[in-house]
Amino acid sequence: MNYKRRIFVSLIFFAIFFFAVSVIGNFEAVTTFEEDTPFDLPILMYHSVNPDKTRTGKYVITPENFESDLEYLENCGYTSISAKQLIKYVYNKEPLPDKPVLLTFDDGMYNNFKYVVPILKKHNAHAIFSVVGAYTDEYSENNITNDNYSYMRWCDIGSLVDSENVEFGNHSYNFHSISALRHGSRKNKYEATLDYIKIFDEDMQQMQTQFYSNCSFRLIIYTYPYGAYSKESERVLQKNGFIITLSCIEGMNKISHNKNCLYLMKRFNRHGNMTSDEFFTRKKL
């Protein structure tokens, strides 16, 4: 082999070698990047689900419209996941389906039990029902079940504790109100920090106690009434073993393997006076 040919062959060899190294290096970089990059998780916030169309509004949707939402999400490739699945992903890196979405229902309305649960089962979907303890106590005592205004009783909640489709959250025992005394769970402007911590902790613990005594289950999700929170409330909840806290701030959540991504999670409120297509197009989902 003459001198020029040896040089030519050597150049070809080194070109192939460096190309292979470059490809392998890029492949590894992309794999690492994909594993470490946070992904988007939309959370939908529902309240009352009532078949009376004259009642639809900012916090009321019909059962037909809710089912239409699930069908829309399914057609767009979304998969409803449970809070348990989400926690396992963040803490243990257990895989999630592509395009996950989390469904939440605030306040514990009886119509959620009556209409939402069968639809969830039909579509093999999951949802978090966040319950106000004082409301549940009241309607367990008077035993009223009305689509328009009543709340789930302890017997209703107890029948769902082992459900594969429903999980429960603490929505306070009796902070679901706005008055001169308090705005949801938020610390008042001139309230002493220690006084606030004591009041907030007592209310949260009362709901924990009621839920455990009636359903033998401890809650690890806290949903802020009206989304009103304080930095002190977050510390109390984390200290007491809550893993997820839900706000009412609208926006997309960035999920990673950092447990802090599960606190003060954002949600999109589902207004009842829109079709599924209108709502999800507006929220860019």
What pLDDT score was predicted for residue 14? 41
3-state secondary structure of 108: coil
Burial of 199 per CB tally in 10 Å (0-12, 13-18, 19+): middle
Reported pTM: 0.86
Q: How confident is the model at residue 240 (pLDDT cuts 50, 70, 90)?
A: very high
pLDDT of residue 86 exceeding 70: yes
- Cα 38 → chain centroid: 16
How large is the average pLDDT for residues 181-194? 92
Q: Lowest mean pLDDT of 145-149, 151-155, 227-231, 237-241, name the range.
A: 227-231
* Residue of 111, 132, 70, 133 lying closest to 285 (CA atoms): 70
Alpha helices in 37-162 (DSSP H): 63-75, 83-92, 110-111, 117-123, 133-142, 154-158
What pLDDT score was predicted for residue 6? 47
Burial of 268 per CB tally in 10 Å (0-12, 13-18, 19+): buried
Residues 6+ apart with CB under 8 A from 89: 95, 96, 255, 257
Please answer whether residues 107 and 246 qualify as being in contact, where contact means their C-beta atoms are separated by less than 8 angstroms.
no
Q: How confident is the model at residue 33 (pLDDT cuts 50, 70, 90)?
A: very low
Q: How confident is the model at residue 36 (pLDDT cuts 50, 70, 90)?
A: low
Q: Which residue type does 125 have?
A: A
The DSSP call for residue 186 is P
